[in-house]
Amino acid sequence: MAGLYFEQFEVGATFDHALTRTVTEMDNTLFSLLSMNPQPLHIDAHFSAKTEFGERIFNSLFTLGIMVGMTVHDLTLGTTVANLGMSDVNFPRPVFHGDTLKAHTKVLSTRPSRSRPDVGLVEFEHTCTNQKNEIVASCRRMAMMHRRKAAA
């Protein structure tokens, strides 16, 4: 598996994920409409041109999904049981069509599960930067991870 097992995570470890993603107008429009979000800041160019941004901004929930998704190959592909939650979700800068996003991760904490000896909990801090290296999103994520011993 490409992902890491619980025992392989060390508190303080950092990852600069290699996968990047340039976001497009089509991404933004499709995601917004598929997720039932008719916010004109995402889908109406004329409305958005009159806002402080001067153009449409990328849907923040899609930004969150892309940020976490870019981390999967390095961290959790095939080794995670489930995401238990996300907290401290922030979007300090807008994302625009044509921005290229990159994810970064820091391991904040690890602990064996109290109820399941075959898994452990890992808390990640994810940040997402654009092509100017400006932070556009961040969150904390708690993941339930398989233990290597249990997988053997």
- Cα atoms in the 13 Å half-sphere on the side-chain side of 103: 26
User: Given this model, what pLDDT does residue 149 score?
Assistant: 76
CA distance 69 to 94: 19
The per-residue pLDDT of the chain, averaged, comes to: 96
> Residue 1 domain-assigned?
no
Q: Is the pLDDT of residue 21 over 60?
A: yes
- Structural domain including 123 reads 6-151
The arithmetic mean of pLDDT across residues 87-113, rounded, is 98
| CATH number (domain holding residue 133) | 3.10.129.10
Q: What is the pTM of this model?
A: 0.93
**36-60 tens-digit pLDDT:** 999 999 999 999 999 999 999 999 9
Q: Is the pLDDT of residue 150 over 60?
A: no
